[in-house]
Each structure stands twice: as C-alpha cells, then as structure tokens.
A = this chain, B = another copy of it.
Amino acid sequence: MQSITTDSYTIHFNQQAIQSLNEYLDEASHSSLFIIVDENTYEKCLPDFMASIKGDHHFEVLEIESGEINKNIQTCVNLWQALSELDADRKSLILNLGGGVITDLGGFVASTFKRGIDFINVPTTLLSMVDASVGGKTGVDLGPLKNQIGVINQPKMVLIISEFLQTLEERQLNSGFAEILKHGLIQDANYWNDLKEVHDFSNLDEIIGRSVAIKNKVVLEDPTEQGHRKILNFGHTLGHAIESYFLINQEKETLLHGEAIAVGMILEAYLSNELLGLKKEELEDITATFTARYGKIEFSETDIEHILNFLRYDKKNSHGSINYALIREIGKPVIDVQIPDHLYAAAFTHYKDA
C-alpha cells in the first residue's frame, strides 16, 4: 500500500513499514533504543516485530500493564525513571508498540523526557491504526478525565502492520471499526455506504488506507484544532463522557472506546436531526447500523445524570459552553453547535427506543 505523508512524517504500511524502519535505524544513529509494550503486545507482537529488524540494534524493552486505567501519570513516572536508570539521553529513540494507550502515553513520555526525544508509533489495534496514527495527540488521563494531560507532538514515523490485527479479538476490531464508520459519516457518504457492507475483518488494508487518508486530510487543514479539525469529535463529546463514567463506575463493565462512541454517534445523530435537519432516514440508517453492530447498552436515569456531569469536563468545552461537532447530512459536518439542555433526555430516549 502507498505510504501517506503528513505535514512532518510518513505513515508506512506493511512491507514498506518494515523496510523504512530498517533504513531509519541504520541512518539515524540513536544513542540507545527503547520499545514500550504491554503484556499483550509483548507476547503477541514483539517476537515477530523484533525478527523483522535487521542488523545489530539492541532494544531495551519497557513493559507496562495494559488498559485505559493505566494510562496515567504514575505509569509515565515509572517509564521516565526506567529511562533514566537505563541512561536514556536526548539522542535515544522510543518505539511505541501497542494500541492507543501505548501510543498516546508512550508519545507523551517521549515528548517530555529531557524536553523531548524521538519516537515512532507502531499501532497494533485497528483503533490506533486509523485514529492515533495521525494528528500528533499524545497524553494521559487525569483520574477519570480522558487525555486531560498531554501535548501535540509528532512521531518520526508511523508503521502500520496490519498483520498485528490477527492478534485481536473480534470485540476489539469492532471497536476500531466505529472510528472508521465515523470517517464515513463526517466526510464521505459513499465510504459510509461501502462500510455498511463490510462484515469480514480479515483484510482491512484498503479500508485502513482510506481512513488514514481522511484523517490526514482533516488534520492537515487544521493542525492545532482551531476549527475544521473539530469535525473528528463527532460522537465523541457524549461518547467520552459515557466512556469516562463506565471507567470509574465499579458496577459497570468497562466499554471499549469504539463501543462508547458508537452510542455517542447515535445520540449526536439524534441531536443533528433535531438541530441541523439531518434527515430522519439518515438518522434511522445511522441508528440501525450502530445498534446492529454494537448492541444496546442500558442507561438508568442516574447513569444519564452522571454522564451529563462528565460533559462539564470535556476538553473541547470553552467559555462554559459545550461545543458539538454534528452532521447536517451524512458526509457534511458542522462544528461549534450548542445543545439546549432539554434535548439530552430526548436523545437518550431515542437511543433506548431504537
């Protein structure tokens, strides 16, 4: 597959990814090499990945525990200390091998260690391939507040090796597919229609390429998220609040990111219908597509109240108001939409009755 170039680095795929990494390691002459993994990528991805690296490059492996719950400052402190003890210096390189937790957190650790060292992202989940691979967002959660602490900083390159998807469970692939469906909804009705037909996840190369290209185009137009880039938040304002609430509530099973934003997209499609005239048929199409793929989650009145409390903290807030990215039709986004309070209950009712 063709490499995709962002404003400052290149995303390489499969064989080209391996080749580019080997060339880079030979040319760049880093003082020392580190690879951050979790227990899953340590077992399932690291051996193959290491085998593909040619020449005499020694990597120190730094393993963290998997899971969003570990995407926090304490994990960063542990890694910063490990790097210091292993004499990492300003010319060291960090390779982040894992899903969004590893690439977000590892990118932040690299961007802040000695005021910033080189890093390369090797996303191993569908979600991180299509979402975290473009845009330079790094960061960690602060308690239940997702990505509250972080910086925008670009990796040296991103390597997408789709073979790693074979190590994932169906549930995780499905979660990543929610971001892909979002790319259709916010940019390309044809892509959305194509995606609805996709039920076999055994070869997603073309789809990954299309989604990365869409995200790259959006980010290139607005690298610092002043305006247009906010369209990527479709489904995420309510989706993040739902995800945060399920993360800290001990009685709830944790939702994967894509599962949370699937609900968020149904709710925000409802708001789009109410406020921007998104056609009823398109709302029904979106609702049916997501509920068929992701099932339905039950929300009590108390749940909804707590979720709405989390909205206050959403980082896209500004001047006390919450700005949504919605769609006026499939493929046509609108940013900075504000929601009258009474519509929230109606949106959840729409979801419940779907």
Q: Footprint of B on A, CB under 8 Å?
A: 31, 73, 76-77, 80-81, 84, 87, 89-91, 111-116, 137-139, 142-143, 145, 147-153, 312-313, 315-320
Contacts and interface: CB of A to CB of B under 8 A. Distances in A.
A2 B81 CA distance: 44
Contact of A87 (B113, B151, B320): B320
Contact of A115 (B73, B139, B313): B139
A311 to B, nearest CB: 12
A148 B89 contact: no
A145 to B, nearest CB: 6
Nearest to A72: B77
Q: Which 3 residue pairs across A and B have the least CB separation, nearest first?
A: A31-B319, A114-B315, A115-B150
A77 B140 CA distance: 12
A147 B81 CA distance: 13
Given A112-B139, A115-B138, A151-B153, 14 more contacts: A31-B320, A81-B142, A89-B315, A89-B317, A89-B319, A90-B317, A111-B151, A112-B150, A114-B148, A114-B149, A114-B315, A115-B139, A116-B151, A151-B151
B152 A89 contact: no
B73 A149 contact: no
Given A87-B312, A91-B319, A319-B91, A115 B152 contact: yes
A145 B82 CA distance: 13
Contacts of A320: 31, 87, 89
A257 to B, nearest CB: 18
